[in-house]
Amino acid sequence: MAKQTGLGDNCYVGGYDLSGDIGSLGSIAGSLATLDVTGIDKSAHERLGGLRDGNIAYNAFFNPAAGQAHPVLSALPTADQMVTYFRGTTLGNPAASMIGKQIDYAGTRAADGSFTFAVTAQANGYGLEWGEQLTPGKFTATSLLTGNASTFEGGIANWVAKTNCTIAQSSAQAHGGTKSLALTSAASGTMTAQHVTDSPNGTTGFAVNGGGSYVASGWFRSAVSARTCEMQVHWFDSAGSSVSTTTGSTITSSTSAWTQASSAHTAPATAVYAIVQATVVSTGGASEVHYVDDVLFVAGPGSVDDSSSSTFGFQAYLQVFSFTGTDATITIQDSSDNATFANVTNGAFTQITAAPTTQRIATSNAATIGRYLRAQVTTSAGYTSLAFALQVTRNKLAGQVF
């Protein structure tokens, strides 16, 4: 890799993106105390590693707008804060984070009229950790299905009946708002509706990245008989030809409550387009009605290749800047082939219900972590927007573990 400048960097403090208010970083330092254990029979020093430490020092411009440098930093919080530095905003780029105390907010009004503040954060508990970006800078996870295509409040958008059913907007049931999408079976068997027609080819679907991470979710309710239901994704190549259909975890619908089917999908390597499908399995006959509502299709930030697996676990730092919805959970997944991913044990952050917020998690220091890592966003009750940044520090040596 060639030498780089520091252009295009980001800095996040306590769940706030202050990148536009920070003019420079004076120090991004990690340190290790050395303990002198030299015996009198030695001709040179013997030392052991002691406590780890770290600090991040930066200069901020005066910006009194809500959520910007002055109201965030002038509070001088006594509680620990997370400070994160992103070297550029490309997935996999270096990043440094620490949990620490903000120890000053020293303003200088210079003769040239500039008004800046010097800020230092001193590590508390974990030292400073360098790692890699698991999001390309500040990442916004929003559903590609929006408005009537998701909630059906003002119609059914471009949804069409795919297999063994007719579809229509309904006010008989609703998970959110007052409307939903009703699927009525034409005969016994499986019925499927999809968010857009695939005729004459699948280029009508959402643009996707091969190998990318996606979550499809929707809420189901039955009018008469409980059935197995699931959210599926039909993938197409650049010519619009079918590649495959991936299925997720199934749920059993109910006549008395709404049940969510939510599943993670990895786009096939050749996938360029995707169509979201809601499926009810094995209806009992004609005119059987099922309702679907609040359908989401969320793209993840992609995966990072570390060339090989590691055996000493990781630590991860999460900055959440904004959130609209009921809940979301961010989980780190690993893979050996960048195709089949699984949740890392202890790799899930606490459920997000509000922002700004920050979290740090750590796996076992003996955990084997696959070659590829990615972040997966799921929800149990729905959300419409989530903006966050994520750093992971993979431990390559046992001595890195806290």
Whether residue 182 contacts residue 191, with contact meaning beta carbons closer than 8 Å, is answered with no
State the pLDDT at residue 402: 52
Identify the CA nearest to 214 among candidates 151, 262, 156.
262
Burial 367-401 (b: 16+ CB within 10 A, else e): bebbbbbbbbbbbeebbbebbbbbbbbbbeeeebe
Peptide bond into 77 cis (omega under 30): no
- Do residues 302 and 91 lie in contact, with contact meaning Cβ atoms separated by under 8 Å? yes
82 pLDDT above the threshold of 60: yes
- Describe the chain by its helix, strand, coil percentages, rounded to 5: 5, 55, 40
- DSSP secondary structure, 230-289, as one string: EEEEEEE-TTS-EEEEEE---EE--SSS-EEEEEEEE--TT--EEEEEEEEEEE-STT-E
Q: What are phi and psi of 73, to 5 degrees?
A: -85, -30
Burial of 51 (0-12, 13-18, 19+ CB in 10 A): exposed
Query: Judging by beta carbons within 10 Å of its beta carbon (0-12, 13-18, 19+), is residue 120 exposed, middle or buried?
Result: middle
Q: Look at residue 75 in the predicted model and tell me its pLDDT.
A: 95
Q: What is the pLDDT of residues 230-283, one digit of tens each?
A: 999 999 999 999 999 999 889 999 999 999 998 888 899 899 999 999 999 999
Residues 6+ apart with CB under 8 A from 173: 180, 221, 223, 291, 293
Distances (CA, A) of 209 to 264, 266, 272: 15, 9, 6
- On whether the CB atoms of residues 218 and 294 are closer than 8 A, the answer is yes
Dist CA 217 CA 223 (whole Å): 20
Give the model confidence (pLDDT) of 150-184 as tens digits: 999 999 999 999 999 999 999 999 998 999 999 99
Are 234 and 277 in contact by the 8 Å Cβ rule? The answer is yes
Give the chain's length: 402
Residue 398: the pLDDT is: 76
The domains located in the chain, with CATH, are 10-132 (2.40.30), 143-299 (2.60.120.260), 301-400 (2.60.120.1110)
CA-to-CA distance for 322 and 329, rounded, in angstroms? 14
Instruction: Give the separation between CA 402 and CA 399, rounded to whole angstroms.
Output: 8
How far apart CA 138 and CA 72 sit, in angstroms, is 18
The first and second tokens of residue 176, run together, are: 């959110």
Collapse the DSSP code of 69 into the 3-class scheme (helix H, G, I; strand E, B; otherwise coil) and give the result. helix
The Cα 216–Cα 251 span in angstroms is 13
**Alpha-carbon span 296 to 280, nearest angstrom:** 17
Cis peptide before 64 (omega within 30 of 0): no
Taking the C-alpha atoms of residue 183 and residue 99, their distance in angstroms, rounded to an integer, is 51
pLDDT of 399 above 80: no
User: Residue 75: helix, strand or coil by DSSP?
Assistant: coil
How far apart (Å, rounded) are the C-alpha atoms in residues 192 and 170? 17
Query: Within a 13 Å sphere around the CA of 315, how many CA atoms are in the beta-carbon half?
Result: 19
Predicted confidence band of residue 401 (pLDDT cuts 50, 70, 90):
low
Amino acid identity for residue 69 in this structure: A
pLDDT (tens digit per residue) in 10-67: 999 999 999 999 999 999 999 999 999 999 999 999 999 899 999 999 999 999 999 9
Specify the amino acid at residue 279: T
Say what the pTM is: 0.85
- pLDDT above 70 covers a percentage of the chain that reads 99
pLDDT of 360 > 80? The answer is: yes
User: For residue 135, what are its two tokens?
Assistant: 């999001």
pLDDT over 90 (residue 326):
no
Residues whose CB is less than 8 angstroms from the CB of residue 1 and which lie 6 or more positions away in sequence, other chains included: none
Q: What average pLDDT score do residues 192-202 get?
A: 96
- 147 Cβ neighbours under 8 A, 6+ residues apart: 154, 157
